[in-house]
């Protein structure tokens, strides 16, 4: 029961974290849907393990373990891509700040640079 509780709490916190990860409206909407489905799925399977076998059979798999492994792989890919894009965003913001600083310094040391005469 402690493990189940741990799983439910950690997946809930994970969901909250993922919801806050990115900012564009469409991506955020997709993230919310994925997280809600995943959280409901994990809680349901945790409380009723027999259901995972039925899901496995529904998807044409023999073992419930396979469903969980596949779902985990999909989620891992989703999270990895999400983190990659988030890092790209942060890098781009850092570049903009660095560029603004370099240009400001350049204008300070070359005072007639932007003057016509």
Partner 1 sequence: MIDNKQVCVIVPFYNEEEVLEKVLTELIANNYLVLAVDDGSTDKSNEIARKMNCVLLKHPSNFGQGAALQTGISFARLNPKIEFFVTFDSDGQHQVSNIKYVLKPLVGDETDFVFGTRFQDDKTKFPFLKRIVLKAAIKYTQLSTGVAITDTHNGFRAFNRSAANCINLNFSGMTHASEFVEKAGKSGLRIKEVPVHILYTKYTKRKGQSLWNSINILTDLFLR
Nearest to 70 by CA among 85, 80, 59, 81: 59
d(CA 79, CA 64): 23
CB of 37 or CB of 100, closer to partner 1: 100
Is-contact 42 3, C-beta < 8 A? no
Tell the smallest beta-carbon distance from residue 102 to partner 1 (Å). Answer: 5
Tell the smallest beta-carbon distance from residue 23 to partner 1 (Å). Answer: 16
Tell the smallest beta-carbon distance from residue 93 to partner 1 (Å). Answer: 11
Binding site for partner 1 (CB under 8 A): 81, 84-85, 88, 91-92, 94-95, 98-99, 101-103, 105-107, 110, 113-116
- Give the CA dihedral 64, 67, 72, 77, nearest 10 degrees: 160
CB of 73 or CB of 95, closer to partner 1: 95
d(CA 82, CA 87): 9
Tell the smallest beta-carbon distance from residue 62 to partner 1 (Å). Answer: 34
Quickly tell me which residue has 């994970």 as its tokens: 14
CB of 57 or CB of 81, closer to partner 1: 81
CB of 70 or CB of 84, closer to partner 1: 84
Tokens of 60: 């044409």
């Amino acid at each position: 029961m402690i493990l189940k509780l741990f799983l439910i709490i950690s997946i809930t916190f994970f969901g909250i974290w993922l919801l806050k990860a990115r900012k564009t409206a469409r991506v955020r909407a997709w993230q919310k849907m994925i997280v809600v489905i995943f959280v409901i799925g994990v809680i349901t399977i945790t409380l009723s393990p027999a259901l995972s076998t039925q899901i496995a059979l529904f998807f044409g798999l023999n073992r419930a373990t396979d469903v969980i492994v596949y779902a985990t792989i999909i989620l891992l890919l989703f999270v990895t891509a999400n983190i990659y894009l988030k890092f790209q965003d942060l890098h781009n913001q850092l570049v903009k700040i660095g560029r603004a600083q370099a240009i400001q310094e350049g204008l300070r040391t070359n005072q007639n640079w932007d003057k016509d005469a």
